[in-house]
Structure 1
Amino acid sequence: MAAASCLLTEDKFLCSICLNVFTDPVTIPCGHNFCKTCITQHWDSKVRCQCPNCKRLFTTRPELQVNAFICEMAAEFKQSAQQKASSSSSSEQHVSKPGEVPCDICTGTKRKALKSCLVCLVSYCETHLEPHLTKSGLKRHQLIDPVENLEGRMCRKHDKLLEMFCKTDQMCVCTLCTVSDHKAHDVVPLKEGYEGKKAELGKTDAEIQQMIQTRQLKIQEIKHSVELSDKGADREIADGVQVFTALKKSAERSQAELIDTIKEKQRKSKKQAEGFIKELEQEISALKKRSTELEQLSQSEDHLHLLKSFVSLNAAPPTKNWTNISVRLPNYEGTVVRAVYQLEETLSKLMKKLFEAEMKRIQQYAVDVTLDPDIVHPRPTQSNVRQENQGKECRCVLSKQAFTSGRFYFKVHLKKWSDWTLGVTRKLTHIKEETILSPSNGYWTVCHKWKMFGTSGYYAPAGPSILLSLKTKPEKVGVFVDYEEGLVSFHDIDTAALIYSFTGCSFPERIYPFFSPCPNNGVKIHSINDSCVLQ
């Protein structure tokens, strides 16, 4: 039956209604065959029963008879067609594709190589590999996963297989090379060299894994910094909302500006953190990729491939040193205070409460400052301000400590001084020259002078000078500096009031706390440290 079915073509087993191979074939009285479902549905849709092929009419609907022969033949044909399709698909799957190693023995269409023989220097497909798996003489040949360019495994000088590894020159050599060019070198069998390099790859992979872990910990550290920054931002926003909701329409604009300022700082902080995280994730991705490559290489049985790839893959990909990199938390100190200060007349009680909370925050940056009488500055002058007591002694002294980054806070007791200049400054090199007080000259200070503009007063030499309206004479002044933020703020500690703030400052490399007790009612100053206390 199977032999007979091979002589038949597909059109002999097609239903004329559905045009597919018969399913449950039946015969009607005129002798034509159809699928049982097809002829039944055809007659159900017609008024008269008629053969779709010969058009013979039937007065009554004929009884359908199962055609056992056609049924068996159709089943045989379907099975044969499926086997042919499966065989064709299997053959196509074994054909060598671009990028795959083809069989060197196949003629015509090249099939995919299953193994390469290091003795024969030939790659074999599944069919042509059989002798190496069955014949005793060929069984001793060394088979590896299929590789191209087997000629590259031969010594070009001696035309022999590269079987040894020279540790001295870090290269693969043949046995003749070991008694000629590499005679006095440290030479080991290829397998021993392979195992040694494989061990080194494992060590390198362990180091890379440690680098990945270190960077993952750095990501956690940065995320924690972002969380702290978020809490600080939330706290500041909450304080700001509490302050400005106490006002009516006149305070709504100030409230929005405060929130925008804080959010902008937070946005910059998050942007920096996201940049760090992105870099770290990119490095982790590169390291994981290298780890995968190393794992694949370490599992390779191809000795030469491992040794040739060792140099390019053994070292970890270039990465940044993250040890001292961290997200700098934005500075919110003074934000709410400066905003509320504009509403001083209506918010004096609230200002005092806020200032006390503010001082607690900035006092965590308190430093001990010691003035050095040996570091004497030139006498500063102020444009548009007539200097009194010309010719009398006026010491302008810096601290011993210099600051180049971060935040710091110190306070000064001024009760015994009638005139004074206080703040931070750069260090001048020519001590005999006079310098005008201004940020452009490296001075961020506030001053008190008698008979300035005909009367005593306080001012900030900001270029030009700004007169300050203070209700009381400050006896203790706190100075807070945020180097990166470019902020210098002065606070009256006793009255909980902001005296003045310099913002957007561009500091030199080093800045020093600065104090100048100008003539104090005729008292000659010999030692600043004995007469003034900075804490």
Structure 2
Amino acid sequence: MASSFSLLSEDQLLCPICLDTFTKPVSTPCGHNFCLSCLSSYWDNERVYQCPVCKERFERRPDLKVNTFISGLASQFRLLQVTNAHTWSPGPSKESAECAVLCDVCTDVQQQAVKSCFECLTSYCSVHLEPHHRAAGLKRHTLVDPLANLQDKICKEHNRILRLFCLSDKVLLCDICFRSQHMNHDVVPVQQAYGEMKDLLGDTEARVQLMIQEKQQKLEAMKESVKESKRETSEVIAESVKELTALVSEVQRSQTELVKVMEEKQKAAEEQAGVFIVVLEQELIELQRMKMKLMDIKQTEDQLCFLQTFPESVVLPLNTDLPSFSFNRHVELQNVQKHLSSSVSQLQTLLKKMTTEITTFSASNDVTLRNLQQYEVNVLLDPDTAYPLLVLSDDGKQVRYDKSPGRVYPKRPNAFKRHLGVLGQRGLLSQRFYFEVLVSQKTEWCLGVATASVRRRREVTRNPDGGVWAIKFRVKSFEAFSSRGVTVYKGKVERVGVFVDYDKGQISFYDVQTATLIFSFSDCLFTEELYPYFNPCDNECGSNLDPMVIVPVTRTESSLTP
């Protein structure tokens, strides 16, 4: 018998529907074979009767009869499988690899199990396994290599082996689960699913590793950039302080030189004037003597005596030429003051210019934000995309969360089904655009842009390939939507600016009040239109029922783009 079955493979005796060995096999008019229950269940759920394999249609439902020949082959094959222990095995388990599975029947010293039975949910040593090879009823049981936790391998609903895996719903199935609920799904054997999922996991692991390397490179580049910037800043500060210190020293030196020169000139002038003062004082003494002498002569009443002395008394002493000794430095001091004031004024102008340049540098963030605000677009929310628990204002500028009892939730085929999101009405492609949103006192919200193909019927995935580039605020800190749990900025903001440069693959978020960059996505690859994305979040954190409000950019004359 074994030699005859050596010409057959297990696949030839498997039902194409349940992927198990035939049970009461029947044949269709087109020549394909199935389990009676499998084909009956299949046709019960279909409007037309056709072959599940070749899709040939039949005018009426065929009258199925069990093929006794194939049924006998299948029975013999199952018996041969059990006898030779060629049974299905889900592959080596972690438990069997790490520790031995012991016999559940041994009472004294438990021996190591050699097989586990799915029907009995028991592991047996070689001694206690013997009845499964001898008793007719036990021979039909499914024996596998020893496994711990057998109950986890059995369907809880139907008490059958979990042999299949539904790729559509990502669940393990027994043959009854498959026939009753998953006939039209993508179902494969566990071994195949294990291989495919393991390959997929390997691909994902490789992509994650590549992302880790890219992030590490960016991290190292950012650290190196910060280090280089710190070094350059220190050098500029040192050089600037050096030059300004030299300037201060030069001004102080000029001040000292000016005082010295002025004092020396004053001293020289005083010495020159001192000589003239001595001469003038001496002449003044002589003139005083002459005056006294003339007064004495004038008082002489003796006419003869007066006339005898008069010729000698009228001779005046030598008079100094006073105009040649004039001491007047007013004009000279005025000239010095004029030249000094002119030089100081020029220096003050240069200092004011330098201060203005420093102030302009410190206000570069304001300039950057003002330049981005020129790309403002008018954003209106699209009610057809709004999650049912979101309420939009009539003008399309506000969105808030509302779970009030008795609300009527409209059916919108294009709306988010499992995500508190809403998109803008207009998609933008290959250009720059900017808009601002007032988040006020909200304790949680999410804001950014999303692709037109972002998932709406299922939960939006929070990964770089999820189609959403946004920041999420919760209580006091920010995180990137694609990097759950990684804080990118701390603090609370009231007004957020969103700027997108489609061609450069860059999305930036700003605190409008302080003109501070919150976070920026860079080197993004966009292949479709981008829509403004809003998520006001629920009231889990409390005090979060305020709306997110799209507001126009406020411009003043001082904030016009240069």
- Mark yes or no: TM-score above 0.5: no
TM-score by length of 2: 0.28
TM-score by length of 1: 0.30
Q: Which has the larger radius of gyration?
A: 2
| Structure showing greater relative contact order (alpha-carbon pairs closer than 8 Å, 6 or more residues apart) | 1
